Structure 1
Amino acid sequence: MPASRPDLALLPRPSRMSSLGGRLTLDRDTAVRALPGAEPAADLLRSLVGPAAGLPLAPSPEGRIVLALDEQLGGLGEEGYGLTVGPQALLLRAAHPTGLLRGVQTVRQLLPAEALSGGARGSGSWELPCVEITDIPELPWRGSLLDVARHFRPMDYLLRYVDLLALHKLNVLHLHLTDDQGWRMPVDAYPRLTTVGARRARSQRGPEGPGRTRFDATPHEGAYTKAELRGLVRYAAERGITVVPEIEMPGHVRAALAAYPELGNHPERRLEVWDRWGVCETILGVHEEVFAFCRAVLEEVMDVFPSPYIHIGGEECPTSEWESSPAARERAAAEGLADPAALHGWFMGRIGAFLVEHGRTPVGWAVSGTELPLDFTVMAWRDASHARAAARRGHRVVAAYHRTTYLDYVQSEASFEPVAQPGDPVTLRTVHDYEPAPAEWSPEERDRILGTQAQLWTEYVRTPEEIEYLSYPRLCALADRSWSGGRGDWPGFVGRLRHHTARLDALGVPYRPLDARSLATAAYASPS
Structure 2
Amino acid sequence: MFNTSFLRIIICFAYLFSSGLVLYAQESERYPLIPKPVKLVPGKGYFDITAKTKVILDNNNPALKTAAGFLIELIEHSTGYKLGYGNKGNHKNSICFSIDNTIVNDEGYQLSVTGKIVMINYKTPRGAFWAVQTLRQLMPPDVETKDGHVKNLTIPAVQIEDTPRFAYRGALLDVARHFFSVEFIKKYIDALSFYKINTLHLHLNDDQGWRIAIEKYPRLQTVAAWRKETLVGHRLDVPEKFDGKPHGGYYTRQQLEDLVAYAGKHFMTIIPEIDVPGHSQAILAAYPNLGCKADTTYEVSTRWGVHKEILCPKEETFKFLEDVLTEVMDIFPSKYIHIGGDEVPKDRWKESAYCQNLIRTLNLKDEHGLQSYFIGRLEKFLNSKGREIIGWDEILEGGLAPNATLMSWHGEKGGIAAARQNHQVIMTPSAYTYVNLYQTKDRKQEPFSNGGFLPLEKVYSYNPVPAGLTPDEARYILGTQACLWTEYVTNERDAEFMTFPRACALAEVGWTSLAQKDYNGFLRRLNYNLRHLDKMKMDFFKYYSNAN
Which of the five TM-score ranges fits, normalised by the shorter chain?
over 0.9
Aligned residue runs from structure 1 range 204-219, under 5 A:
204-209=231-236, 211-219=238-246
Residue of structure 1 equivalent to 2:414: 386
Alpha-carbon shift at residue 515 of structure 1 (Å):
4.8
Residue 266 to residue 152, structure 1, CA distance change in 2 (3 Å): same
Alpha-carbon shift at residue 510 of structure 1 (Å):
1.1
Alpha-carbon shift at residue 119 of structure 1 (Å):
6.3
CA–CA distance in structure 2, aligned partners of residues 19 and 53 of structure 1:
26
Residue of structure 2 equivalent to 1:524: none
Query: What letter is aligned with 2:525?
Result: R
Counterpart of 1:498 (choices 505, 521, 527) is: 527
Gaps of 5+ in 1: 522-528
Counterpart of 2:546 (choices 512, 517, 524) is: 517
Residue 433 to residue 119, structure 1, CA distance change in 2 (3 Å): farther
Residue of structure 2 equivalent to 1:41: 67
1:459 equivalent to 2:487? Answer yes
Deviates more, 1:493-502 or 1:61-70: 61-70
Alpha-carbon shift at residue 83 of structure 1 (Å):
0.8
* TM-score, with length taken from structure 2: 0.91
8 Å contact kept, 1:69–1:96: no
Residue 4 to residue 366, structure 1, CA distance change in 2 (3 Å): same
Alpha-carbon shift at residue 28 of structure 1 (Å):
1.9
8 Å contact kept, 2:281–2:309: yes
Residue of structure 2 equivalent to 1:271: 298
CA–CA distance in structure 2, aligned partners of residues 496 and 88 of structure 1:
26
8 Å contact kept, 1:323–1:341: no
Aligned residue runs from structure 1 range 476-487, under 5 A:
476-486=504-514
**What's the secondary structure of 2:40's corresponding residue?**
strand
1:161 equivalent to 2:188? Answer yes
Residue of structure 1 equivalent to 2:260: 233
Residue of structure 2 equivalent to 1:104: 132
**What's the secondary structure of 1:73's corresponding residue?**
coil
8 Å contact kept, 2:73–2:82: no
1:89 equivalent to 2:112? Answer no
CA–CA distance in structure 1, aligned partners of residues 319 and 392 of structure 2:
22
Alpha-carbon shift at residue 33 of structure 1 (Å):
1.6
Deviates more, 1:48-57 or 1:235-244: 48-57
1:295 equivalent to 2:322? Answer yes
Query: What letter is aligned with 2:489?
Result: V
Residue of structure 2 equivalent to 1:185: 212
Query: What letter is aligned with 1:10?
Result: L
8 Å contact kept, 2:38–2:161: yes
Query: What letter is aligned with 2:26?
Result: S
8 Å contact kept, 2:35–2:508: yes
Residue of structure 2 equivalent to 1:116: 144
CA–CA distance in structure 1, aligned partners of residues 431 and 131 of structure 2:
32
CA–CA distance in structure 2, aligned partners of residues 503 and 454 of structure 1:
20
CA–CA distance in structure 2, aligned partners of residues 73 and 308 of structure 1:
27
CA–CA distance in structure 1, aligned partners of residues 364 and 37 of structure 2:
51
Gaps of 5+ in 2: 1-22
Alpha-carbon shift at residue 69 of structure 1 (Å):
4.1
**What's the secondary structure of 2:270's corresponding residue?**
strand
CA–CA distance in structure 1, aligned partners of residues 228 and 417 of structure 2:
42
Alpha-carbon shift at residue 50 of structure 1 (Å):
2.0
Residue of structure 1 equivalent to 2:200: 173
CA–CA distance in structure 2, aligned partners of residues 251 and 400 of structure 1:
19
1:65 equivalent to 2:94? Answer yes
Alpha-carbon shift at residue 206 of structure 1 (Å):
2.0
Residue of structure 1 equivalent to 2:103: 74
8 Å contact kept, 2:278–2:311: yes
CA–CA distance in structure 1, aligned partners of residues 220 and 195 of structure 2:
35
Residue of structure 2 equivalent to 1:27: 50
Give the length in aligned residue pairs. Answer: 516
Alpha-carbon shift at residue 204 of structure 1 (Å):
1.0
**What's the secondary structure of 1:185's corresponding residue?**
coil
CA–CA distance in structure 2, aligned partners of residues 85 and 359 of structure 1:
42
**What's the secondary structure of 2:514's corresponding residue?**
coil
Residue 517 to residue 368, structure 1, CA distance change in 2 (3 Å): farther
**What's the secondary structure of 1:266's corresponding residue?**
coil
Residue 313 to residue 2, structure 1, CA distance change in 2 (3 Å): farther
Alpha-carbon shift at residue 120 of structure 1 (Å):
6.6
Aligned residue runs from structure 1 range 326-341, under 5 A:
326-341=353-368
Partner deviation per Cα, 1:328-357 (whole Å, 9 max, x = no partner): 111111111123342111101111111111
Query: What letter is aligned with 1:7?
Result: R
Residue of structure 2 equivalent to 1:507: 536
Alpha-carbon shift at residue 209 of structure 1 (Å):
2.1
Residue 152 to residue 96, structure 1, CA distance change in 2 (3 Å): same
CA–CA distance in structure 1, aligned partners of residues 469 and 409 of structure 2:
18
8 Å contact kept, 2:428–2:482: yes
Aligned residue runs from structure 1 range 363-442, under 5 A:
363-367=390-394, 369=396, 371-414=399-442, 415-423=444-452, 425-442=453-470
8 Å contact kept, 1:251–1:284: yes
CA–CA distance in structure 1, aligned partners of residues 360 and 389 of structure 2:
26
CA–CA distance in structure 1, aligned partners of residues 131 and 273 of structure 2:
29
Partner deviation per Cα, 1:112-131 (whole Å, 9 max, x = no partner): 11111236756x23111011
Residue 130 to residue 438, structure 1, CA distance change in 2 (3 Å): same
CA–CA distance in structure 1, aligned partners of residues 377 and 33 of structure 2:
45
8 Å contact kept, 1:368–1:387: no
Query: What letter is aligned with 2:50?
Result: D
Query: What letter is aligned with 1:19?
Result: P
Alpha-carbon shift at residue 214 of structure 1 (Å):
1.8
Alpha-carbon shift at residue 499 of structure 1 (Å):
1.0
Residue of structure 2 equivalent to 1:525: none
Partner deviation per Cα, 1:122-164 (whole Å, 9 max, x = no partner): 6x23111011111100100000000001101111111111101
Residue 197 to residue 368, structure 1, CA distance change in 2 (3 Å): closer
Counterpart of 2:473 (choices 440, 445, 448) is: 445
Deviates more, 1:505-514 or 1:160-169: 505-514
Residue of structure 2 equivalent to 1:357: 384
Counterpart of 1:472 (choices 495, 500, 504) is: 500
Residue 109 to residue 254, structure 1, CA distance change in 2 (3 Å): same
Give me the CA root mean square deviation. Answer: 1.6
Query: What letter is aligned with 2:202?
Result: L
CA–CA distance in structure 2, aligned partners of residues 255 and 515 of structure 1:
37
8 Å contact kept, 2:371–2:395: no
Partner deviation per Cα, 1:300-348 (whole Å, 9 max, x = no partner): 1111100000000000010100100111111111111123342111101
Residue identity over aligned pairs, in percent, reads 36
Alpha-carbon shift at residue 190 of structure 1 (Å):
0.7
Q: Which has the larger radius of gyration?
A: 2
CA–CA distance in structure 2, aligned partners of residues 438 and 71 of structure 1:
34
Residue 359 to residue 515, structure 1, CA distance change in 2 (3 Å): closer
CA–CA distance in structure 2, aligned partners of residues 224 and 213 of structure 1:
30
CA–CA distance in structure 1, aligned partners of residues 237 and 328 of structure 2:
40
Counterpart of 1:348 (choices 375, 382, 392) is: 375
8 Å contact kept, 1:367–1:381: no
Residue 267 to residue 186, structure 1, CA distance change in 2 (3 Å): farther
Counterpart of 1:4 (choices 23, 26, 31) is: 26
Alpha-carbon shift at residue 111 of structure 1 (Å):
0.5
Residue of structure 2 equivalent to 1:51: 77
